[in-house]
Amino acid sequence: MSADEVNQPMVLRPVAVLRTPFMEKFGVPRQSGLVPEAEGRVVFAPEFAREEFVRGLEAFSHIWLITQFHENPVWAGTATVRPPRLGGNERVGVFASRAPNRPNGLGLSLVRLLAIETVPTLALRVAGIDAVDGTPVFDVKPYLPWCEAPAGARANWAQAAPAARAAEAVVIAPDLAEKIMRETGGEGAPTLAMIRHLLQHDHQPAYQQDPARVYGMNLAGWNVRWRALEGDRVEVCGVERIGA
């Protein structure tokens, strides 16, 4: 095969679409697995919605999802990025990062496989998702711990999960928690747990340190607003049903 043939563009087509609680990019966990309560469904396109495509997948606890950062602007050719883990000030090469703004805009998520659904259509229920609702999925592959978690692997400045504040450092007033429980039905407790776990992590840019600023994110049908408190705490200061 010639060099010209190797360099021909490859046409990718989604095999599925992700349905997740994240209605916008802001608030999405920065890596998969950080918020186990963040569940989603991989809903297969009609041509792939046959059980034969996932036969044997139930034997695996985790799967890889190869996705598209479909809400990102087209890559502008920038060779370096500023990872949040380095405070948003130090630059590294785009290929030395997990930054979403990259030449082909492809994402990689390792999620827990909870169930394989066949009604009303073929779908995978997964946990620990880190993608916006509607994200295209190009491939699904089983996770193999014997070769994909090698002992002694090194990741330098990203060796461990990012530091998270304690659960009790996320302050949610009883009336707001009760509102979520009351208006979300049977999903109230999981939704509340997801919000709390999400806010144990920082979502604002590392360079943004305005203590008076109120942040907001739309997820699971709610607009959640919060602000920073002293002592590395955050307070949920408002929750409203979207479209209510």
Domain containing residue 236: CATH number: 3.30.2310
Query: How confident is the model over 204-214, as pLDDT tens digits?
Result: 765 555 678 99
Does a structural domain hold residue 154? no
Is residue 181 domain-shared with residue 142, that is, in the same domain? no
Q: Give the DSSP letter string of 73-103.
A: PPP----EE--GGGTTTS-EEGGGS--S-ST
Is residue 180 domain-shared with residue 113, that is, in the same domain? no
- Across the range 3-27, mean pLDDT stands at 88
Query: How confident is the model over 191-206, as pLDDT tens digits?
Result: 999 999 999 998 876 5
- Across the range 6-13, mean pLDDT stands at 82
Domain's final residue, options 89, 121, 148:
148
Does a structural domain hold residue 74? yes
Is residue 141 domain-shared with residue 176, that is, in the same domain? no
Q: How far is the CA of 10 from the CAs of 15, 45, 139, 227, 238, in angstroms?
A: 15, 20, 14, 45, 46
Is residue 84 domain-shared with residue 188, that is, in the same domain? no
Total domains in the chain come to 2
Domain's final residue, options 118, 148, 178:
148
Is residue 41 domain-shared with residue 139, that is, in the same domain? yes
Contact between residue 194 and residue 35 where contact means Cβ atoms under 8 Å apart: yes
Q: Which domain holds residue 206?
A: 167-241
What per-residue confidence (pLDDT) applies to 205? 65
Tell me the β-bridge partners of 223: 218, 240
More confident residue, 185 or 236: 236
Query: How confident is the model over 47-103, as pLDDT tens digits?
Result: 999 999 999 999 999 999 999 999 999 999 999 999 888 877 899 999 999 999 999
Query: How confident is the model over 117-171, as pLDDT tens digits?
Result: 999 999 999 999 999 999 999 999 999 999 999 999 998 888 888 889 999 999 9
Is residue 173 domain-shared with residue 142, that is, in the same domain? no
Residue 236 belongs to what H/E stretch?
strand 233-241
Does a structural domain hold residue 88? yes
Q: How many C-beta atoms surround the C-beta of residue 105 within 10 A?
A: 16
Is residue 11 domain-shared with residue 57, that is, in the same domain? yes
